[in-house]
Amino acid sequence: MVEEREIKSIIEALLFIWGDPLCLKDISGILEIKEKRAKEILDNMIDEFNFDRRGLRIVRVEDSYQLCTRPEHHQWISKLSQGKTTKSLSTAALETLSIIAYGQPITKNEIETIRGVRCDKAVETLLGRKLIEEKGRLERTGRPIIYGTTMEFLRYFGLQSLDELPPLKDFEIEAHETQDLEE
């Protein structure tokens, strides 16, 4: 039987080399240990990485794990890619993404009804960034595509699951606030 210290070393190497989130089932299968044991070891590794304030951390998204840099090191890491520019999401893309996140599965027509404007470009951007994906088609006239968020969405926003999204009631605007905004 492989000792825990060696298992941790193997898991760290797997997460590093894979890059993308690696599911617990795959990790336990590779190590030939029970998923429960692999999860215990991973949870312990997460605590150790955080306690030691290492430059890397292990992030859990649903039942998958990924090795990432610490967000507080962004200012130094960004110096590596000063010539490279990454565009942030536009307001239209963020609005569209929030509608999809809270309303999924949802069609483009339903998104446009809520936003009151077309959303072709925003949907294209979100698909390109792999924040949303096609989840299938509705069985009705025209067979419209339905969209939903991806694991990349969860990772991008630092969420473990959709359950961590803030409740919609936190965003409700009172009638008198709407009047103030209009004035």
- For the chain, the structural domain boundaries read 4-74, 91-182
> Is 22 within 8 Å of 11 (Cβ atoms)?
no
CB-side neighbour CA atoms (13 Å) of 98: 13
Rounded to whole angstroms, how far apart are CA atoms 160 and 138?
28
CATH 3.40.50.880 fits domain 91-182: no
Give the model's pLDDT for residue 134.
96
- pTM score, two decimals? 0.57
Give the model's pLDDT for residue 179.
45
Secondary structure element (H or E) that encloses residue 148, with its range: strand 145-149
Distances from the Cα of 157 to the Cα of 9, 123, 146, 164, angstroms: 28, 18, 22, 10
Rg of the chain over all Cα atoms, to the nearest angstrom: 21
User: Does this chain's domain 4-74 share its CATH topology with 91-182?
Assistant: yes
**Which residue in this structure is represented by tokens 């942030």?**
88
Rounded to whole angstroms, how far apart are CA atoms 118 and 14?
43
Mean pLDDT by 10 residues, the chain (183 residues): 91 90 95 96 96 92 91 84 68 93 94 91 94 94 93 90 86 50 43
CATH number for region 4-74: 1.10.10.10
Give the model's pLDDT for residue 74.
84
Rounded to whole angstroms, how far apart are CA atoms 94 and 10?
38
